[in-house]
């Protein structure tokens, strides 16, 4: 293939643009803010799930507390009635004695139920405290996520702007290059090769391998408009750069 030395050098310029674009794309995909944002989002989601679980637990324990309060209230109501009858002194002695025993029993039962009620109340307070802590952590993480998102967007916009500029420059260069050599470059690059590279000091800068003396002499002796290629990586080799 024939191509002017100018076109060959411009193909190398296109290759440099492509390398820079690849580097920018990698930088964009691996911004440190992205990893930090992902970690904060996972932590936020886990905290939300723990808070929802705690709220569900609180609902269950609150119902349990109401039952305990109801049990205490029933015993207290019965106890008050029995004490009122004892205080009135009406009734047969045997009946009053029976009431005294029942009052003792009810007081013991009341103490047991109030102990249960207190234990459930402490559990409610503990769960509420845990929910408050989780809500505070969620708020902190929401602020962190917002800040990280802003930083990521600023960094992304800067890299995207740089990429857009490179793409504009690349497109302008492509329009001025002979289509045949550009198509060859794209074909090589699509196969995973460097596409084009400088021949410098007897070395292909695409694969960084030295070229044997016979091939090197042939390349250097060929006409300036002759498109030469590396025998190892098959990229277009550009002389005189």
Residues 238/224, Cβ–Cβ less than 8 Å: no
Per residue in 101-120, pLDDT tens? 888 899 899 999 999 999 99
- Report residue 208: phi and psi, to 5°: 60, 30
| pLDDT reported for residue 95 | 77
Residue 209 or 241, more confident: 209
| pLDDT reported for residue 133 | 98
Has residue 236 got a pLDDT over 90?
Answer: yes
What proportion of the chain, given as a percentage, has pLDDT over 90? 84
- Arithmetic mean of pLDDT, 9-35: 96
Per residue in 24-60, pLDDT tens? 999 999 999 999 999 999 999 999 999 999 999 999 9
Has residue 91 got a pLDDT over 70?
Answer: no
Average pLDDT, the chain: 93
Nearest to 134 by CA among 57, 211, 222: 57
Bridge partner residues of 204 (DSSP) = 199, 209
Residue where the block lists tokens 């992902």: 38
- Report residue 86: phi and psi, to 5°: -65, -40
């Amino acid at each position: 293939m024939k191509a002017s030395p100018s076109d060959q050098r411009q193909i190398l310029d296109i290759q440099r643009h492509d390398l820079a674009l690849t580097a920018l794309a990698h930088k964009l995909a691996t911004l440190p803010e992205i990893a930090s944002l992902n970690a904060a989002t996972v932590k936020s989601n886990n905290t939300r799930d723990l808070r929802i679980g705690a709220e569900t637990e609180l609902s269950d324990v609150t119902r349990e507390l109401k039952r305990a309060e109801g049990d205490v209230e029933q015993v207290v109501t019965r106890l008050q009635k029995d004490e009122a009858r004892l205080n009135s002194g009406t009734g047969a002695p045997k009946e009053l004695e029976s009431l005294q025993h029942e009052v003792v029993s009810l007081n013991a039962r009341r103490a047991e139920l109030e102990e249960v009620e207190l234990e459930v109340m402490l559990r409610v307070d503990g769960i509420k405290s845990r929910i408050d802590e989780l809500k505070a952590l969620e708020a902190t993480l929401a602020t962190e996520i917002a800040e990280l998102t802003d930083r990521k967007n600023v960094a992304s916009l800067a890299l995207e702007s740089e990429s857009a500029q490179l793409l504009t420059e690349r497109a302008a260069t492509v329009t001025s290059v002979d289509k045949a050599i550009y198509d060859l470059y794209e074909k090589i690059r699509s196969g995973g090769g460097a596409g084009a590279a400088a021949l410098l000091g007897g070395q292909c800068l695409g694969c960084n391998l030295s070229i044997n003396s016979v091939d090197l002499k042939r390349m250097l002796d060929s006409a300036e408009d002759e498109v030469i290629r590396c025998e190892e990586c098959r990229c277009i080799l550009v002389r005189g750069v």
